[in-house]
Amino acid sequence: MNMPVRCPRLLCLCVCLPGLLLGPARARAQAAALTGAGPGVAAPHHPLDARPGWGPREPQPGPRVQPAGDCLCPAACKKVFGPETGFAKRGIDFEGWLQLDGATLGGGLSPARAFDGQYLLDLSATFDTQKLAGWAGGTLLVDMQTHSGPNIVSQYVPAIQDPDNMDAHSFTEIDRAWYRQMLWGQKLQLQVGLMYVDEQFFTVPYGDNFISLNFSSDATISTFVLPTYPRGSFGGSAFFYPVKGVYVSAGVFNDHSAELPYDPGGDLWVTEEGWQHPWRGLPFSLQVGAWHDTGSFQPLAGPVGSVVPGATGAYLVAGQKLWHPAKAPDRGLGAFLQLGSAPPTVAAIDRHAGAGVVWTGAFDARPHDEIGFAFSDGSLSPQGGFLHGFENEFEAYYQIYVSSCLTVQPDVEYWQHPGGRATPNAWLYSIRMQHTF
């Protein structure tokens, strides 16, 4: 049995304080790096800002953490792994990031002054087959993670939805290993291997930096059969981009679930179609998808030992850039909407609706800071014997951009009827720090 590793308050303070003391001056000096102006730096993961029309899907590094560069790599490290080394020239790229979460609770089942934390370390290697072997259009990714957990969220806020997208039992493993091939002038993307399904499907524009999983995936399937963090799933996918701003896609994956207490033993089939076009001069996107799982499921209500063959659901995600300053398109206000459904006979959340707004650069002196507000409503299946018919969440955060490799994010969540039972409503106060190297 894995035992959680606790994060003392003093350790969390010692880790967070140096980053905060770096101050906004350094952040402004490295502003160009965040927007992709510098070499080897990834732009913030806002799909509606990143490009005028959809192209091949980029790999995500883990549970919604976006690396912003290699600035933590010391000089000796860069001599081995930097962009001018033999590794890079041969198409081998190394990345890593460390994420720390600290949390305390009010309400729920929490005792007084409960505090806890967890960490996640991710190391990955990406291989460009063109540079490595002369094979055009190929990319190989191998990713390893080590994590300590779970934290107090899972113990004292027994919500069906996921309050912390990093929460899991302690593990060290290769969580993803896949090969991707681009064909037909980048119009067709094929991918096969060990992967997270919600890297490619169920994605939510502007939802990545919320700590709750509700706003980066659909709760009807993420609380049911979605194969995702902390353990990837073997499968394959195909994305076809016939014209600019349009794609059609499909995938099939082994349906192991971290949420169900049993293995349904089937495969998850997913299809998603996406469309992007300016609306009133600002980017708008729409994704519509459906899924079917071939497994055998235990009904929420029914005779012991009975089985329901298969489960089917659908979802919709929309994203809209609402406004940005005339000379700063990377700043401004964006919004998203989520809708999803799952069969009430076997899924605890049979309908889900979520919405949120994110404001990047609300203050001129802090052009890369981010403010987010979101609401999630999970309708609980009438066949589940719940005391309440819904489980709701409100979340707000302020992400402080300290440098191109460091962000610090205070976050607050309010949960209404967590678990749909008699658990009191709960407040979750968190701080998340992300270092990249």
Report the relative pairing of strands 406-416 and 426-436 from DSSP bridges: antiparallel
Helix, strand, or coil here: 133?
helix
pLDDT of 108: 76
Distance CA 136, CA 129 (A): 6
CB 381, CB 254: distance < 8 Å: no
Percent of the chain at pLDDT exceeding 90: 64
What pLDDT does 80 receive? 59
Question: Does 180 have pLDDT greater than 90?
Answer: yes
**Rounded Cα distance, 232 and 122, in Å:** 14
Beta bridge partners of 275: 246, 286
Among candidate residues 172, 165, 137, the one with its CA nearest the CA of residue 60 = 165
Asked if residue 342 has pLDDT above 50, the reply is yes
Which has the minimum average pLDDT: 212-221, 255-264, 290-299, 325-334? 255-264
Residue 435 CA, distance from chain mean position = 16
What is d(CA 232, CA 214) in angstroms, rounded to the nearest whole number?
19
Residue with token string 């000796």 = 76
Report DSSP state, residue 5: P
From its phi and psi, is residue 385 left (phi > 0), alpha (psi between -120 and 50) or beta? Answer: left
User: Residue 56: which pLDDT band, with cuts at 50, 70 and 90?
Assistant: very low
> What is the rounded distance in angstroms from the CA atom of residue 90 to the CA atom of residue 73?
19
Phi (first) and psi of residue 13, to 5 degrees: -65, -40
Helix or strand (DSSP H, E) at 78:
helix 75-81
**Percent of the chain scoring above 70 in pLDDT:** 79
Q: Which residues lie closer than 8 Å to 327 by C-beta, 6 or more apart?
A: none
Contact between 81 and 87 under an 8 Å Cβ cutoff? The reply is yes
Mean pLDDT computed over 215-236: 91
Q: Which domains does the chain have, with CATH numbers?
A: 9-436 (2.40.160.180)
Would you say residue 27 has pLDDT above 60?
no
Sequence-ordered list of residues with C-beta below 8 angstroms from that of 147, at least 6 positions apart, any chain: 118, 119, 120, 121, 166, 168, 170, 171, 172, 230
pTM summary value: 0.82
Considering only residues 162 and 57, tell me which one the structure prediction assigns the higher pLDDT.
Answer: 162
How many Cα atoms within 13 Å fall on the side-chain side of residue 340? Answer: 37
Would you state the pLDDT for residue 54? Answer: 45
* Amino acid symbol at 34: L
Once rounded to an integer, what is the mean pLDDT over residues 384-411? 96
Mean pLDDT of all residues in 134-162: 89
Q: Is residue 402's pLDDT more than 90?
A: yes
* φ, ψ for residue 83, nearest 5 deg: -70, -15
Quickly count: other Cβ atoms within 10 Å of residue 308's Cβ. Answer: 16
For the chain, the residue count is 437
Extract the tokens encoding 201.
Answer: 């499907």
